[in-house]
Amino acid sequence: MTEISKKRGFVYLIGAGPGDPGLITVKGRDCIGKADVILYDYLANEHLLTYAAPHAELIYAGKVGGVHNREQWQINELLVEKALEGKVVARLKGGDPFVFGRGGEECETLVASGIPFEIVPGVTAGIGAAAYAGIPLTHRDFTTSVAFVTGHENPGKEASDIDWERLSLGSGTVVFYMGIKNLPLIAQNLMAHGRSAETPVALIRWGTRPEQEVLVGTLADIADKARKAAFKAPAITVVGNVVTLRDKLRWFDNRPLFGKGVLVTRAADQAGEFSRLLAGYGAQVFECPTIRIVPPESFDGLDGAIASLPSFAWLIFTSCNAVSSFFTRLHDRGLDSRAIGPCRICAVGPKTAAALSTYGIIADLVPADYKAEGVIEAFRSLDMNGKRVLFPKADRARDLIPTELQKMGAEIEAPVAYRNVIPEALPSEALQALEERRIRCITFTSSSTAQNLAAMLGENRLLNLLEGVTIASIGPITSRTCRELGLPVDIEPPAYTLEALTGEIVRHFT
């Protein structure tokens, strides 16, 4: 960064893409992380703010109740003001800054004030939304040209700058931005200047998002269809014969869980993998952690067991949390995996075994049944008499494993390695989705997730909010807890894994 940029700050105008946060460019994501101040728009997905530095000031510059929160001149002044304070500013704009994004106007203001800036292009809505609707804007069997046009010109103009005749006869595909309000006029002008009334048209609302809606018609009837369907902005309009390819090339909004709200109740740091699996099938995922993993109230029991690790014949892990908590404490004591020595290791399920592998350890025993009963069954064929077994557990773990192994003659130590506590509050977005009946399926991956949700909502409210919602449980123990809470279980996979649970959810809705 130059000397002048250090004195006067620096501004990045970043294209946030059309809605899917995965469409942000690598450079755009990196610039968000550098910023001291982020001004973000209505159409910029708020998930992108998770890339912001902890100290960054977040300023919303979009719409509130359909009305602009800040006028363009106010945004321009704010960019200058923050930059003159010597700050790095990220202007996060939906789509691309230079495609109907008024980025040029903002840059002119920065130039006039001597503030250095950089443009980080983004995927514009016309391209992104059309692609997610299965509509190629160009295709050699249909057209080799495409035009991008604003459907909402500056209201201060005395006459339209759109050359309707050339647009109607000289362009192949025409994409209108912000044109829903003026849709009848757009259709009339195109037909009046030579476009066939039978020309296919597609309206794409909230393109690339799980809420995406597509309405298809012709120039003759699309305005009437939109009115009857109460089709509203934000949306783009695609005009041209390429629209007919949608039925063949549709790939995004025909996935089995598309648009269905699914609530994931796993701990915040563990929800990501499950959320990605569900989103891959089109679900609109709401993460609603009902568990927070924290250290035990005292490490005395675990530290004592670690001090005598060489004396144990077996070490049993029943969750990834147990693995992480145990090895974190081992590291805090100045030790690593070598401290385990000849101790054999049992992992309940492939995920727990995979968690162990990150520490360079291959489990000696992975029971076929991924629950406590499976562990007991696997050990029945072994001579456990007089064997010492270490079982680092959660504070609310069942006593089945220690009790049954003791009956086999084993000596068990089961120190608490971590606690499951209830978060202070449910995320407002997830709670609102429940209250507005936008959740079609709720997932429980442990008894604690169900019990904690019930504790946070209260029994009556829980049953009311989940009435008619599909309940998906990862296994029989969790299912039993759900039923004890009055929740009927609709989905339970044969294997107790996230992949199997996802597969059962997909089959249920298919």
- Would you please indicate which residues are annotated as catalytic (active-site) residues? 41, 63, 178
- Give the number of other Cβ atoms within 10 Å of residue 350's Cβ: 14
Q: Which residues make Cβ contacts (< 8 Å) with residue 201, sequence separation at least 6?
A: 187, 216, 217, 218, 219, 222, 237, 238, 239, 243
DSSP 8-class letter at 139: B
Q: Which two tokens stand for residue 381?
A: 């064929």
Q: DSSP alpha helices (H): ranges in 89-228?
A: 103-112, 125-132, 164-170, 183-192, 222-228
Q: Are 266 and 285 contacting, i.e. CB atoms less than 8 angstroms apart?
A: no
Residue closest to 438 by CA, chosen among 289, 291, 285? 285
DSSP 8-class letter at 99: S
Before 234, cis peptide (omega within 30)? yes
Rounded distance, CA 201 to CA 239, Å? Answer: 5
Residue closest to 273 by CA, chosen among 348, 350, 327, 208? 350
Rounded distance, CA 125 to CA 97, Å? Answer: 11
DSSP 8-class letter at 70: S
Pairing of strands 235-239, 173-177: antiparallel
Reported residue count of the chain is 510
Q: Which two tokens stand for residue 25?
A: 């460019």
SS3 452: helix
- What residues does 216 pair with on adjacent strands? 202
Q: Are 96 and 122 contacting, i.e. CB atoms less than 8 angstroms apart?
A: yes
SS3 131: helix
Q: Which two tokens stand for residue 124?
A: 């514009």
Q: Which two tokens stand for residue 387?
A: 């064997």
